[in-house]
Amino acid sequence: MKRIVLSLVGMLLVAPGFAAEMSRFDTLYGELLHEYWRPTVTIHGIETTVFDYAAMQREAGPMIDEIVETLAKIEPMQIDGVNAAKAFWINVYNFAAIRMVIDAYPVDSITSFKISLIKHPWSKKSINVGGQRYSLSGIEKDILLSRFNDPRIIFAVSCAAVSCPDRTAEPFDGAHLEAQLDELIRTYFRNPKKGLSLNRETNTLTLAWIIKKDSYLFQNETAGVLAFVRPYLDEELRGWLASQKVKLEYFDHDWTLNDLAQANRR
């Protein structure tokens, strides 16, 4: 009984600090996105939202450092609720990707050798959460996909590239996560240069490369992919796809950084 009482007292002492650090992370990360997110521009003929990474590097160093310090104090196992935990880890992933870019900037891609000599930044243990270091791949594969089994996650974690789904000026939030994920994918599939394009003459549906990359999440078959895609389309297109036999193809993935500076290059 004494041990249980002491444990409960410990939880009461820890909880306020944990809540404060979570709130601090949400606030600071939200401010970072809001300050440096920019609306749609065109890069290599592809419309995409971008970040002003140059301004971020000049101005946001103290904010980024504060976010890093805050994450190191957060114990993620204390997060209450599936969607709250999912949103947290997506935000951590996306912040870690931004930080890697800023640490090496100027770069023209997250795959730059300045970030990783083998051009594979996803394997670098680049972020400390609760005293443990994580790689982007570890967060995506070992935590998000393994724990939550939600294929929408691959659209939510940012590869910081032109061909990725458009980023927003708001972080993911457990209370609104379902709507945020669905709208992210719906918007992506409206983009005919990187999300989804249909050629009705050849019955060819061209989709984002990230679907091909993680095709196992969709049963690795045309039927599984189409079953996932259809609910995000308008009624007419859903009906057409349901009545036709289509061939799937995939866009080439443009790894150019989703950077405002890239829109100004000729």
* Cα–Cα distance measured from residue 192 to residue 233, given in angstroms and rounded to the nearest whole number: 13
The whole-number pLDDT of residue 16 equals 61
Model confidence at 17, pLDDT cuts 50, 70, 90, reads confident
Instruction: Quote the tokens at residue 257.
Output: 């950084």
Integer CA distances (angstroms), 237 to 147, 199, 203, 230, 257, in order: 33, 12, 12, 8, 31
Please say if the pLDDT value at position 140 is more than 90.
yes
The whole-number pLDDT of residue 97 equals 97
The whole-number pLDDT of residue 221 equals 75
As a whole-number percent, the residues of the chain with pLDDT over 70 amount to 92
* Cα–Cα distance measured from residue 163 to residue 257, given in angstroms and rounded to the nearest whole number: 9
Residue-wise pLDDT for 72-90, tens only, equals: 999 999 999 999 999 999 9
Q: CB under 8 Å to 89, separation ≥6 — which residues? A: 76, 139, 143, 144
Please say if the pLDDT value at position 11 is more than 50.
no
Give the full edge-to-edge strand order of the sheet including 247-250. 196-199, 204-207, 247-250
The domain ranges of the chain are 2-173+254-263, 196-250
Are the C-beta atoms of 62 and 49 separated by less than 8 Å? no
Instruction: Quote the tokens at residue 183.
Output: 């709208």
The whole-number pLDDT of residue 9 equals 41
Q: How many CB atoms lie under 10 A from the CB of residue 49?
A: 18
The whole-number pLDDT of residue 40 equals 97
Residue-wise pLDDT for 193-239, tens only, equals: 999 999 999 999 999 999 999 999 998 778 899 999 999 999 999 99
Residue 177 burial (C-beta neighbours within 10 Å; 0-12, 13-18, 19+): buried
